[in-house]
Chains A and B, each alone.
Chain A
Amino acid sequence: GEDVEQSLFLSVREGDSSVINCTYTDSSSTYLYWYKQEPGAGLQLLTYIFSNMDMKQDQRLTVLLNKKDKHLSLRIADTQTGDSAIYFCAEILGNQFYFGTGTSLTVIP
């Protein structure tokens, strides 16, 4: 499979912004995705971005895409304790997803 890399852990204080980073390997990916996994649950699609876009904003979420560097980031504004979860980035090649290792976000009250 493809290598999609993320840092494993991130801790932020409630109310601060969180930035979760991801690097992917295949520039032919047409869409890139962010999923959220809460404890004991499956993965939930948060948002996705088309590869010809640089930025996408959806309420507290901002996705930034740097195609040149194959770098994707997810910014969560005003992070809340309910945002504590594991966040996965993913790229799609053909009809297969390749997921990153996941970043565990801990929000400190």
Chain B
Amino acid sequence: DAGVIQSPRHEVTEMGQEVTLRCKPISGHDYLFWYRQTMMRGLELLIYFNNNVPIDDSGMPEDRFSAKMPNASFSTLKIQPSEPRDSAVYFCASSSGQGTYGYTFGSGTRLTVV
């Protein structure tokens, strides 16, 4: 298995632009998670899905953030409009069942908003 695949690996964008981050979970995993990592706040859970349905989006910082999972093999995290304080590494992770045996993380997308 190729693991959790995220794209792009790096994204540099100007403030006010729309940014879309993509994730392909491991085939057969029914949970998908989006995390944000910064030096100041560490790892923050933004949102997670079970069987393509958003279960908890309480970590999404603002209405500028939205996430979708149109099918079992694809999810997007969109920021519109982007701001410099959104600069971070965004990770997608997936798990089978409730994650008892751990999540599998993607390599992350490093987002820089200038």
Contacts and interface: CB of A to CB of B under 8 A. Distances in A.
**Chain A CB within 10 A, most for which of B43, B45, B56, B91:** B43
A85 to B, nearest CB: 13
B103 A45 contact: yes
Given A95-B31, A99-B43, A102-B42, A42 B99 contact: no
Interface in B84-114: 91, 93, 97-108
Dominant SS at the A interface? strand
Nearest to A45: B102
Contacts of A48: 101-102
A33 B102 contact: yes
Contacts, number: 49
A97 B103 contact: yes
B48 interface: yes
A99 B93 CA distance: 13
Contacts of A30: 100
Q: How large is the interface on A (under 10, 10 to 19, 20 to 34, 35 or more residues)?
A: 20 to 34
A100 B56 CA distance: 20
A92 B99 CA distance: 8
Nearest to B110: A40
Nearest to B106: A42
Interface of A: 1, 30-31, 33, 35, 40-45, 48, 88, 92, 94-97, 99-102
